[in-house]
A = this chain, B = another copy of it.
Amino acid sequence: MKYSKLFGKTVREAKKEMTAKSHQLLYTGGFIRELSAGRYEFLPLGFRVWKKLVNVIDEEMEAISSQRFSIPILQPMEFWAKSNRDKAWGKSLMKIKDRTGAEFALSATGEGVVTEMVAGTNPTYKDLPVIVHQFIIKLRDEKRARGGLLRTREFVMKDAYSFHDTEEDFMNTYDDFYKAYSRICERIGLNYYACIADSGPLGGDYCHEFQIPCDAGEDHIVKCEKCDYAVNVEKAEFVRKEVNKKEEMKEYKMADLPEKVQKIKDLMKHYDMPAEMFIKNVLYKTLDGKKLIIATVTGDLDVNSVKLAKAVGEDELEIGEDVDLKSIGSKTGYLHSWGYDEHKDRIIYVVDEGITKTRNLYGGYKTATQDPLNVNYGRDFEADIVADIAEPYDGAICGKCRGVLKLIRSIEWGHIFKYDHFYTKHHDGFFTDRDGQKKLMYMGAYGIGIGRSLATVVETHHDDKGISWPISVAPYKVHLVSLGEDKAVNKKALSLYEEIEKAGIEILWDDRIDVSAGVKFNDADLIGIPIRLIVSEKSLGKGGIEMKLRKNKESEIIKADNLLEVLREKITQLEDELIPKK
């Protein structure tokens, strides 16, 4: 491709609202354009990368015997209602009626439809497992789109589904996907942690997220520096400090406390004691506002709302507001861990498990002038629910090996789910077993967003000057830059371009003659093609062509007559750096 003919060129500056580096670079490099918030156009350069990602993923799916199929994106609403997913997805699920009034959901995910598609073939144990995948547009009306392609409202996802006669057979396939996802990460140049995580509105009871450590991520994972424990914060277990665990219970008493001492840091100063000595209460409410939840943790911790929601059996919770505090006669800074007996039907008390194993805590029932001392769970108060509801923190102790946990910002790149019978029971997902009996199939699902993959690669493969694509997904393998208006140079460049293209090596040639060397190099750095060839009067004077890798500073002069051989070697070398050939 000649750069002069390429549709979608580099632009000088990103827009102010583009905060993520990948967003800036994909925009300025001429890869994507925004049509409306969270909906993107892929220009030809961007589409080339997109297609390579699809091909890598498709190959790895085929390697684990997954068969490709596709379903429509307008799904009759009843597929969502059967498993109550319409409610679980809330406003993120877009709905539309056709001219006859029939209601459809826009494909936010495909479990219901795919389960019935498979069940509709009346499978027997001989037909199982069924393992299928597609690349299809997902539409999710996200509250906030962010970071360009990192979180969009419309994107293509590779979604795969598997159906099994036994849990054991399912686990084998789950393991195949785990390995395939690992291999895809390697092939496209992503470091990853496979983390145990929460299924959320997709349902099911067990899943792994493939998290890519990256400052632009909106997730946090928890990783032990010592053992292999890696987990989403929402699932992260860590050791509580259990202050005074072996101390005897002291006498409960109310102590005077100046009104202005309210926050944990004020209490620490006032009593000269560490944060974990104090009781901290936070108010939450259910989305319908019908229930209030008083969450109680030690003062050194924060409440994790996902853990809390799970503890009370909700998909999601909202933080309580002043009006909610007022409704039970409380206010900010004065929320109690117990005692709202008039409102007991509306309130769920939840304490973090750490609270139950500490002795002689301070606080939990603050009044205008007093706060209790020596509060002990079980003796002085009890909650409706005891659970792990605390947010893990950098430096917490690993529950598995007593190593130190590290909190890492990350991008959720892929997700694999164990559903058991969650969907098959709602969608008559039966098979006929060896004994002639109809039984529910075991099911799993496995997703990777293509646009997010693209953004994640950029987030983890760039420098100040631009993108530096892994060779496996680069829009072109070679970027030929010819400098100046010299006829011999441009003639040489043309013949090289034709030779390389004919050899089947993807090449972009910056053939502009009215543009300076500086601009051409800046554009090449920005676009990020791995191998750069420079033809100039200078290089020709040295008897060859200058070759430079995007990731290196040094360049070398190579002879034109073994150019193809050198390029092929270099491409193999760059591929081997991603995944060494066996």
Measured CB to CB, the residues of A under 8 A from B are 1, 4-9, 33, 35-36, 39-44, 46-48, 50-51, 65, 67-76, 91, 94-96, 98-99, 102, 104, 106, 113, 117-118, 120-121, 126-127, 130-132, 137, 139, 141, 143, 153-154
Contact = CB atoms under 8 A, between A and B. Distances in A.
A73 to B, nearest CB: 6
B68 A44 contact: yes
Q: When A and B form their complex, which 4 residue pairs have the shortest distance between CB atoms, in order from nearest?
A: A44-B67, A39-B72, A42-B70, A91-B99
Nearest to A42: B70
A98 B94 contact: yes
A99 B67 CA distance: 35
Contacts of A137: 73, 137
A100 B564 CA distance: 55
In the assembly, how many copies of this chain are there? 2
A160 to B, nearest CB: 12
Nearest to A79: B35
Contact of A33 (B36, B50, B120): B120
A74 B154 contact: yes
A132 B44 contact: yes
Nearest to A96: B96
7 contacts: A6-B67, A7-B118, A8-B121, A35-B72, A36-B76, A41-B72, A72-B154
B121 A7 contact: yes
Interface centre among A4, A9, A41 (most CB of B within 10 A): A41
A131 B154 CA distance: 25
Contacts of A121: 7-9
A69 B44 contact: yes
B72 A130 contact: no
Contact of A35 (B75, B95, B153): B75
Contact of A41 (B7, B70, B153): B70
Contacts of A43: 69
B35 A76 contact: yes
A53 to B, nearest CB: 13
Contacts of A113: 35, 41
Contacts of A35: 71-72, 75-76, 113, 117
B72 A117 contact: no
